[in-house]
């Protein structure tokens, strides 16, 4: 039954509830007065009929106004109900093991949107505009938040992106009205995923030229980011392994992809990858859930990942080695997740 039918049926019933007892009451009173005023049954009936004919239109008019005031609300609610049913129909079609990551992201997005709708119902709904690099971090964090034990996450990234990952203490309180579970830095999401035994392996492409100039902005950003990571992650973490790969060709190696991740579960039944796309007029994050090893973008990203993974130990640094190179000491009391 639609919202419109509910409203009309309810208001029709309400009218009947008023008219029937009112008519019965008037008739009862009229027959009590008949003997007092020595009126005939015909005279009483005519008088009561006139009274009822005058009262019923007033009730009907008032009832029609009530219905008309509810119609705009009912129409919108009916539209919402129809859209919600489409979500049910869509989810019902996702029955393959390969649909696992799709369903997880749908569930995650629904929880976020529901939290926003609840906040909106209070009459307040702040919206925050993000730099595209901050938005990249937001998307990657959302994906990482959906992963669980048995998932394997392999990523290539740069400090240029990570410097836009806000420290947890600096995040806006009540960001878009979301509960605390959704308000976190990408770094904290990594720490939490590692605690859930997600197998994370990340490779930072490092500008070796920028690293040599200790007074450069790049060197400063690198030091700040490594400090934050070192404070929250154990150097010998088996769940979250981080490597830094210096290169003399930083611009060339990062021109196509600022960040990307390849994700699958242990039994290889579900798969996805996402990457930053800077070729569009508006920077975007592309997601693909198709387990197709021959797909061009997958081959390109997988080849790039393997290039950094297969570098000899002399050409890449662990988190501990990079921290030592930058003169960083762990501060385990700082922003520990």
**Among the listed residues 232, 227, 247, the one whose alpha carbon sits nearest the alpha carbon of residue 323:** 227
> Same domain, yes or no, for 76 and 138?
no
In a domain, 330, yes or no: no
Give how many domains the chain has, as a whole number. Answer: 2
pLDDT score at 145: 92
Does 87 map to a domain? yes
Q: Domain check: are 275 and 145 in the same one? A: yes
Structural domain includes residue 107: no
Q: Does residue 148 sit in the same domain as residue 248?
A: yes
Within this chain, do residues 136 and 219 fall inside the same structural domain, yes or no?
yes
Q: Is 272 inside any structural domain?
A: yes
Q: Are 9 and 158 members of one domain?
A: no
Q: What is the pLDDT of residue 292?
A: 63
Same domain (yes/no): 181, 38:
no
Boundary (domain end) residue, out of 64, 92, 120: 92
Quick one: 264 and 152 in the same domain?
A: yes
Does residue 171 lie within any of the structural domains? Answer: yes
Kindly report the number of other CB atoms within 10 A of residue 86's CB atom: 9
Give the per-residue pLDDT at 7.
44
Among the three residues 71, 92, 113, which one is the final residue of a domain in this structure? 92
pLDDT value for 322: 93
> What is the block-wise mean pLDDT of the chain (337 residues), using blocks of 10 residues?
47 55 63 62 67 68 65 79 90 91 92 85 77 83 92 93 73 62 84 93 93 89 91 86 93 83 88 85 84 74 93 93 90 56
Q: Tell me the C-alpha to C-alpha distance, in Å, between residue 28 and each of 16, 23, 56.
A: 18, 9, 17
Tell me, yes or no, whether 59 and 199 share the same domain: no
Same domain, 165 and 283: yes
Which residue range is the domain that position 238 belongs to? 132-325
* Burial (CB count within 10 angstroms: exposed 0-12, middle 13-18, buried 19+), residue 209: middle
């Amino acid at each position: 039954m639609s919202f419109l039918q509910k409203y009309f049926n309810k208001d029709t019933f309400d009218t009947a509830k008023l008219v029937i007892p009112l008519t019965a009451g008037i008739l009862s009173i009229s027959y009590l007065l008949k003997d007092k005023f020595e009126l005939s049954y015909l005279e009483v009936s005519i008088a009561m009929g006139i009274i009822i004919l005058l009262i019923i239109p007033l009730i009907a008019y008032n009832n029609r106004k009530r219905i008309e005031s509810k119609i705009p609300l009912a129409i919108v609610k009916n539209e919402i109900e129809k859209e919600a049913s489409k979500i049910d129909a869509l989810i019902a079609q996702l029955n393959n093991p390969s649909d696992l990551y799709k369903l997880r992201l749908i569930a995650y997005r629904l929880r976020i949107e529901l939290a926003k709708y609840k906040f909106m119902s209070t009459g307040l709904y702040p919206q925050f505009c993000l730099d595209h690099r901050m938005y990249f971090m937001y998307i990657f964090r959302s994906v990482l938040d959906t992963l669980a034990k048995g998932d394997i996450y392999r990523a290539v990234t740069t400090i240029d992106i990570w410097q836009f990952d806000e420290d947890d203490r600096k995040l806006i309180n009540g960001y878009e009205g979301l509960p605390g579970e959704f308000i976190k830095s990408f770094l904290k999401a990594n720490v939490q995923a590692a605690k859930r035994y997600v197998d994370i392996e990340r490779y930072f492409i490092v500008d070796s030229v920028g690293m040599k100039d200790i007074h450069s902005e790049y060197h400063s950003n690198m030091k700040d980011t490594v400090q934050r990571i070192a404070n929250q992650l154990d150097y010998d973490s088996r769940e979250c392994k981080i490597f830094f790969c210096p290169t003399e060709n930083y611009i060339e190696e990062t021109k196509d992809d600022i960040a990307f991740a390849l994700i699958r579960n242990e039994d290889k039944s579900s798969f996805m990858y996402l990457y930053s796309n800077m070729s569009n007029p508006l920077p975007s994050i592309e997601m693909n859930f198709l387990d197709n090893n021959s797909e061009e973008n997958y081959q390109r990203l997988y080849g790039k990942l393997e290039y950094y993974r297969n570098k000899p130990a002399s050409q890449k640094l662990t988190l501990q080695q990079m921290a030592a190179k930058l003169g960083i000491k762990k501060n385990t009391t700082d922003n520990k997740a």
